[in-house]
């Protein structure tokens, strides 16, 4: 089921599936019970480009805190529930825009029915989540004694059927594994078996470096093949890093526009300026500038003008100085220590 044809699902102010824009999701790492800290983090994530936010709900106090949190933020809030079906119901009653459950760990059919009934009353979608770390023992044994893509898919489909049996179809499906290629295979398989939107990601991907590499490979394959209605880049880092990485993945694949793209050369023996530091500073500096541009950061004038011609604007380093180009044409020459400020000034002039 290509994303253009998945079932449309409304999540608060967002609609996913059916060819709607792919939504970027992240998860707060604050205590949900701490309303002020959670609201502050969500607002920062909104500004960074997060479309949907998930909050863990491990206690009744957290479920009750959702009401205030939701009233103070501007993006849909998903309540993440494990084990206690009463927390799912309380989260729905307190205004959650979606709930995430694993039907296999919140009790028997009657408890699942109660959660589904509560969701139906408020027309709240249910995300069915399965991951490799919680796959049922019988499915591990069935497929050779270890976690497999087919086992993950069978588990997810069984749980979808549990909810469908209670005559409810506002469902989002999520299958995650830290094994990139297993995750890819699982999504390819389940897309043939369900019409529901897919939330995709590589779980437990790792730190900013390794997690971004694994997520870019896995999500890149799936998104390019047409799968995925919402995405999360799961990193052992600040959630802001997840949102920035997700935006870049989508832009790289041509699935989202907007924001400044920074390209930079890999350095070589011709480089006379501190290019690594400059490139990192430029990448950080442009995050708050609302332009749809390509900025080139080049280490010397050999490749600089050519690359800058392909970019909207760029800098090329020289000995203790640098050139600023616009579409390959030199517009300024400034000392090295003024390059960053001069580039920002040119970008801000672009806004006027």
**So what's the pLDDT on residue 294?**
87
Q: Indicate the burial class of 33 (C-beta count within 10 angstroms; 0-12, 13-18, 19 or more).
A: middle
Q: For residue 15, what are the β-bridge partners?
A: 10
The three-state secondary structure class of 30 is: coil
Q: Identify the structural domains of the chain with CATH numbers, from first to last.
A: 3-252 (3.20.20.20), 261-351 (3.30.413.10)
What would the pLDDT profile of 27-49 be if each residue is shown by its tens digit?
999 999 999 999 999 999 999 99
**So what's the pLDDT on residue 8?**
95
The three-state secondary structure class of 81 is: coil
Q: Which residues contact 34 (CB under 8 A, 6 or more apart)?
A: 65
**So what's the pLDDT on residue 308?**
66
105 and 134 in contact (C-beta within 8 Å)? yes
pTM of full prediction above 0.85: yes
Return per-residue pLDDT of the chain as tens, 352 residues: 688 999 999 999 999 999 999 999 999 999 999 999 999 999 999 999 999 999 999 999 999 999 999 999 999 999 999 889 999 999 999 999 999 988 777 778 889 899 999 999 999 999 988 888 778 888 888 888 888 999 999 999 988 998 999 999 999 999 988 899 999 999 999 999 899 999 999 988 788 999 999 999 999 999 999 999 999 999 999 999 999 999 999 999 999 887 788 888 887 777 777 888 888 888 888 887 888 888 888 877 666 666 667 788 888 877 777 888 888 788 888 888 888 888 888 888 887 7
User: How far from 316 is each of 231, 275, 307, CA to CA, in Å?
Assistant: 35, 9, 9
**In the block, which residue shows the tokens 């043939």?**
192
């Amino acid at each position: 089921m290509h994303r253009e044809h998945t079932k449309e699902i409304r999540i608060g102010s967002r609609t996913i599936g059916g060819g709607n824009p792919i939504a970027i999701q992240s998860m707060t790492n604050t205590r949900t019970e701490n309303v002020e800290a959670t609201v502050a983090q969500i607002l920062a994530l909104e500004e960074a480009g997060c479309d949907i936010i998930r909050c863990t709900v491990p206690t009744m106090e957290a479920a009750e805190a959702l009401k205030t949190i939701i009233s103070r933020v501007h993006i849909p809030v998903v309540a993440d529930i494990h084990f206690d079906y009463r927390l799912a119901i309380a989260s729905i009653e307190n205004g959650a825009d979606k709930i995430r459950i694993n039907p296999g760990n919140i009790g028997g059919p009657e408890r699942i029915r109660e959660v589904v009934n509560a969701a139906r009353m408020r027309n709240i979608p249910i995300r069915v989540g399965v991951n490799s770390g919680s796959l049922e023992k019988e499915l591990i044994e069935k497929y050779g004694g270890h976690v497999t893509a087919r086992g993950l898919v069978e588990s997810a489909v069984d749980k979808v059927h549990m909810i469908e049996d209670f005559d409810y179809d506002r469902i989002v499906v999520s299958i995650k594994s830290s094994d990139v290629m297993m995750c890819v295979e699982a999504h390819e398989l389940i897309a043939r078996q369900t019409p529901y939107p897919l939330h995709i990601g590589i779980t437990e991907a790792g730190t900013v470096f390794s997690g971004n590499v694994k997520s870019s490979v896995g999500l890149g394959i799936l998104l390019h093949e047409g799968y995925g209605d919402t995405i999360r880049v799961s990193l052992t880092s600040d959630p802001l890093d997840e949102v920035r990485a997700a935006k870049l993945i989508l832009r790289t694949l041509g699935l989202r526009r907007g924001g400044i793209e920074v390209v930079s050369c890999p350095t070589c023996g011709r480089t006379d300026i501190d290019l690594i530091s400059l490139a990192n500073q430029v990448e950080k500096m442009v995050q708050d500038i609302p332009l749809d541009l390509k900025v080139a950061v080049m280490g010397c004038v050999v490749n600089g003008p050519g690359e800058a011609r392909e970019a909207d604007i760029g800098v090329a380093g020289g000995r203790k100085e640098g050139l600023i180009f616009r579409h390959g044409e030199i517009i300024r020459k400034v000392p090295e220590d003024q390059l960053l400020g001069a580039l920002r000034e040119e970008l801000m002039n672009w806004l006027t």
